[in-house]
Structure 1
Amino acid sequence: MRGPSGSPDLFGTPILGVSEVSGLICDLLDDMRLHQIWVRGEVTNYKDHASGHRYFSLSEQNGRSSALINCVMWRTYASGLEFTPKNGMDVLAWGTVEVYEPHGRYQLIVREMLPAGRGERHLMVERWKRELDAEGLFSPERRRPLPAFPHRVGVVTSPTGAALKDILSVISRRYPAAEVVLSPTAVQGEGAHTEITEAIQRVDGLVDVIIVGRGGGSFEDLFPFNHPDVVRAVARCRTPVISAVGHEVDTALCDFAADLRAPTPSAAAERAVPDRRGGAPGPRRIRREDGGAPLPPHRCRRA
């Protein structure tokens, strides 16, 4: 009797070729539970190869026991890294386990990697997105048209940020007859999502269209605009909402719940009002109704 490789059996056990054993291992590891998974671990044996590929291991220590998995991140994906991995760093890596047959070992082919703290927030946003989408808050059918000639434009942003100045400049130039109602709020930091939510609720119903936004920043800076409380506040507004969070490359979950997403606060102002620069510029007033400090001499008030 001969085994699959053509060699005779030894004591009733078939003799396999190395390639056959490797093939069996590949088949066993071709399991969907090992495809497109997130793995958390400590970076060890990190090497940034001249080719652009990154070779490293992820390790985990639990008391006396430990575990390690070899990883590789090809140049195509490594070029998109937003940080420099270092030995000892706690990270989240996303990829698929594959077998590298020439060396007879399995490894995680990494396509994305994030510092663990930041990575957990990314995963949180992904979970929130699925949950809010399941609630129907991102349905295109919910979106309403913007008013053609708004009398009052609500703005939910920081009273001291560049975003407000940009919005006022655009509206003053394009449609000076409009009154701007500022509903001031913190736009980053601990508890900012609560302030943003309250600011949206405060101005809803007092204006014809609302701009919710801020200037550019890091993922952490923009994080409050991903919070479910903010997204639900936008979705529940009686007033049409334009979301303008960050710059063109930035995306926040409140963008998906808004009636319109603008790439910048200036672009949001352009979409909120028509261009009537040919008409006579009327007086402008800035209004805020939260009892805060006086605002610039534009036709704007606080909500």
Structure 2
Amino acid sequence: MVFEEKGIYSVYEFTLAVKKTLTNGQFGDVWIRGEISNFTNHSSGHRYFTLKDKSSQLQCVMFKWYGSNLRFELERGMKVIVFGDIDVYESKGQYQLKVRAIRPDGIGELYKAYEQLKNKLALEGLFSPVHKKPLPRFPDKFGVATSPTGAVLHDILTVLKRRYPLNVLFIPTVVQGEQAAKSIVCSIEALNKTDVDLIILGRGGGSIEDLWAFNEEPVARAIFNSKIPIISAVGHETDYTIADFIADVRAPTPSAAAEIAVPDRQELLNQVHRSGERLMQYQRRRITDNLSHLMELKKGIEPRTLFERLAQHMQYADEMTQRQILGIRRIIESKTALFKADAGRLDAVSPLGTLSRGYSIAVRIPDNIVIRSINDVEERDVIQVIVMDGKIKCSVNDKEEGNGNQL
């Protein structure tokens, strides 16, 4: 049986027809509020999740070229407001929302996004003190990036007029709303192309939503990359933004930022005055000390004083001479006693000493052999006896053996 095929769609054709109906513009650029579930951050960089409320759910995809601008990371259970266009995923015949932007919904979600970015930048080392640039002590010119309609600029100029008047380059900046982050980044980059020594980035107080531009990652990185030192003066003393952690110095208020940026002119004048007084006192002391020294030198060249000093030196020289003579005499006496002691010990073992005590030395002639035994001579040998005062020649008539200890 042949059926009439007119009006019958293929699955693909029907899907395209539905897609054409849904994407005709009626559901383009829509904001939708809901809670994230089934979140997947794919390795491709695309983010897939379900946006749901109590009654329904909607499949969503955020492609990586939109996700690169996301100022926080998505989490399951996070309440958000998404912006995008309705679309149909043809292979599954499933309609979905192509998300182009996402905002946290509510104070709790804003704080969660704030903590996420804060932790991320802290891990990168952007808050480290090693990256903080020192402020110039005496700036010649500084820039201010803030709203032209708020009180921030007026407060800063008032403080400068009172403390330290100088040139100010003002860059009108959007500090709240959708364009605020981009405007702040542009102002920082513009001031970095000028000759300012310092930048004050400020705005008045407000809620976390009002101050949110200063929690944006592009603003944080612009502050970090600035070649010129930046003072962050955002909100009131209890308000802390990411910009405060990145900036080189954080001021609790814009007025405090101006006081940090410049010295107090009156205090500088007081310091100069005190330094002048200390210098004068020092010079007076130096002059007084030098005059006293000159008086001492003058006394030293008076004839009476000169002769007294000369007599003292002469007496000292005589005393030193006498000490040297006594010292040399003691040395000679000590050496003489030592010499006599050594001579006595030497004389005790000298042959001459032996002769002086009545002993003699017998020598056989003619070979001058010292006779130590009766076997050294024969009868009729000629011997010579050496005594203390001369020599005696003798002839051996007889030999008699005996104990040498018997005399």
TM-score grouping bracket, smaller chain normalisation: 0.5 to 0.7
Per the TM alignment, residue 205 of structure 1 is displaced from its structure 2 partner at its CA by 4.5
How far apart are the structure 2 equivalents of 1:240 and 1:116? 34
In the alignment, structure 1 residue 232 sits paired with structure 2 residue 221: yes
Note if 1:195 corresponds to 2:183: yes
Answer yes or no: is 1:276 the counterpart of 2:269. Answer: no
SS in structure 1 of the partner of residue 233 of structure 2: strand
Cα distance in 2 for partners of 1:205, 1:256 equals: 24
5 Å-filtered alignment, 1:152-171, equals 152-171=141-160
The answer to whether residue 50 in structure 2 is matched with residue 61 in structure 1 is no
**Count of aligned residue pairs for this structure pair:** 175
The answer to whether the 8 Å contact 1:173/1:277 transfers is no
| Contact in 2 for aligned 1:200/1:234 (Cα 8 Å) | yes
More strand by share: 1
Cα distance in structure 2, aligned partners of 1:279 and 1:134: 41
Indicate the residue corresponding to 1:186 in structure 2.
174
2:167 alignment partner AA: E
Equivalence map 1:100-249=2 (5 Å): 116-176=105-165, 178-206=166-194, 207-249=196-238
Return the letter of the residue paired with 1:61.
K
CA deviation string 1:153-205 (max 9, x = no partner): 111101121000000110111111x1111111111011210001100110024
Contact (CA 8 Å) 2:156, 2:255: kept in 1 or not?
yes
Deviation string 1:231-270 (CA, Å, 9 cap, x unpaired) is 1111111111100000001001011111100000000000
Give 1:91 shift. 9.7
Is this contact kept in 2: 1:205–1:238, CA < 8 A?
A: no
Amino acid paired to 1:199:
S
Q: AA paired with 2:170? A: L
SS in 1 for 2:144: strand
Q: Secondary structure at the match of 2:205?
A: coil
Equivalent residue letter for 1:179: N
State the 4+ residue runs in structure 1 displaced beyond 4 angstroms: none
Q: Is the 8 A contact 1:205 1:239 kept in 2?
A: no
Query: Equivalent residue for 1:261?
Result: 250
Alpha-carbon shift at residue 278 of structure 1 (Å): 7.2
Q: Which residue of 2 aligns with 1:31?
A: none
Q: CA, structure 1 residues 127+150, in 2 after alignment: closer, same or farther (shift >3 Å)? A: same
- Higher RCO structure (Cα 8 Å, ≥6 apart): 1
The one-letter code sitting in structure 1 at the alignment partner of 2:242 is: L
Provide closer, same or farther for how the CA distance between residues 228 and 91 of structure 1 changes in structure 2, counting only shifts above 3 A. closer
Aligned letter for 1:234?
I
Contact 2:78 2:109 in 1 (8 A): no
Distance 1:279 1:249 in 2: 31
Distance in 1 between residues matched to 2:189 and 2:105, nearest whole Å: 34
Cα distance between partner residues in 2 of 1:278 and 1:211: 22
In structure 2, runs of 5+ residues without a counterpart are: 1-34, 37-52, 57-76, 80-103, 270-407
The CA deviation string for residues 121-171 of structure 1, in whole angstroms up to 9 with x for no partner, is: 211111111111122111111112210100011111011210000001101
| Amino acid aligned to 1:145 | P
Q: Write the distance in 2 (CA, Å) between the matches of 1:228 and 1:165.
A: 28
Partner SS, residue 247 of structure 1: coil
Contact 1:216-1:246 within 8 A present in 2 as well: yes
Alignment of 1:77-96 (within 5 A): none
User: Between Structure 1 and Structure 2, whose CA radius of gyration is higher?
Assistant: 2
Distance in 1 separating the partners of 2:173 and 2:116: 26
Aligned-CA RMSD value = 2.5
Query: In structure 2, what is the Cα distance between the partners aligned to 1:265 and 1:214?
Result: 7
SS in 2 for 1:268: helix
- The residue type equivalent to 1:249 in the other structure is T
The percent identity for this pair of structures is 52
TM-score when normalising by structure 2: 0.40
Distance in structure 1 (CA, Å) of the matches to 2:115 and 2:268: 47
Asked if the contact 1:243/1:254 (under 8 Å) is kept, the reply is yes
Contact 1:234 1:241 in 2 (8 A): yes
| Contact preservation (8 Å) 1:156, 1:210 | yes
